[in-house]
Structure 1
Amino acid sequence: MNLKEFLKKYKHAVTWLYFAIYLPWFVYLEKHVVKSYHVIHMDIDDKIPFNEVFIIPYMLWFAYVAVTFLYFFFYDMRSYRKMCLFLFSGMTIFLIISTVYPNGHLLRPTTFEHNNIFTKMVSALYKADTPTNLFPSIHVYNSIGTHLAIVKSDKLKEKKGLCFASFILMTLIIMSTVMLKQHSVFDVITAFIMAGVAYTLVYRNELILSDSKENEYQRTLS
Structure 2
Amino acid sequence: MSKRNVVKNLWSRYNHLLILLYYGVIGLLYHTFNKYIVPKYYVHSFLDDYIPFIKVFVIPYLFWYLYIAIAVTYFGLTSREDFIKLMLFMFGGMTICFFIYFILPNGQKLRPVITEQDFLSRLIKGIYSIDRPTNVSPSMHVLDAIAVHLAVIKSKKLQNRKWIHYISLVCAILISLSTVFIKQHSVEDVIYAMLLSYALYRVIYKPQRNRKPYFEKESVYTSG
Alpha-carbon deviations, 1:96-131, whole Å to 9, x = none? 01111111000000135x542111111111111111
Which residue is 1:65 aligned to?
68
The answer to whether the aligner puts 1:27 opposite 2:19 as a matched pair is no
The answer to whether the aligner puts 1:44 opposite 2:47 as a matched pair is yes
Q: Find the partner of 2:137 among 129, 135, 138.
A: 135
TM-score by length of 2: 0.88
The answer to whether the aligner puts 1:17 opposite 2:17 as a matched pair is no
Contact 2:153–2:165 (Cα < 8 Å) also in 1: yes
> CA 1:36–1:168 in 2, change beyond 3 Å: closer, same or farther?
closer
Structure 1 residue 184, shift from structure 2 partner: 0.5
Amino acid at match of 1:107: L
Which residue is 1:219 aligned to?
none
Contact 1:7–1:13 (Cα < 8 Å) also in 2: no
Contact 1:140–1:188 (Cα < 8 Å) also in 2: yes
SS of match in other structure, 2:156: coil
The answer to whether the aligner puts 1:208 opposite 2:213 as a matched pair is yes
Amino acid at match of 2:122: K
Query: Percent identity of the aligned residues?
Result: 33
Alpha-carbon deviations, 1:190-214, whole Å to 9, x = none? 000001111111111268336552x
Amino acid at match of 1:192: M
Alpha-carbon deviations, 1:121-179, whole Å to 9, x = none? 11111111111000110110110110000010011121111110100011000000000
Q: Find the partner of 2:56 among 35, 53, 56.
A: 53
Measured in 2, the distance between the counterparts of 1:107 and 1:80 equals 35
Q: Find the partner of 2:152 among 150, 153, 167.
A: 150
Which residue is 2:114 aligned to?
111
Contact 1:202–1:208 (Cα < 8 Å) also in 2: no
> CA 1:58–1:210 in 2, change beyond 3 Å: closer, same or farther?
closer
Measured in 1, the distance between the counterparts of 2:172 and 2:155 equals 17
Contact 2:114–2:125 (Cα < 8 Å) also in 1: no
Structure 1 residue 42, shift from structure 2 partner: 1.0
Q: Which runs of 5+ in 2 are unaligned?
A: none
Q: Which runs of 5+ in 1 are unaligned?
A: 217-222
Which residue is 1:197 aligned to?
199
Alpha-carbon deviations, 1:17-61, whole Å to 9, x = none? 21222211111000002x443111111111100000000000000
Measured in 2, the distance between the counterparts of 1:151 and 1:110 equals 39
Contact 1:44–1:185 (Cα < 8 Å) also in 2: yes
User: Which has more radius of gyration?
Assistant: 2
Contact 2:39–2:134 (Cα < 8 Å) also in 1: no
TM-score by length of 1: 0.89
SS of match in other structure, 2:205: helix
Aligned-residue Cα RMSD (Å) equals: 2.0
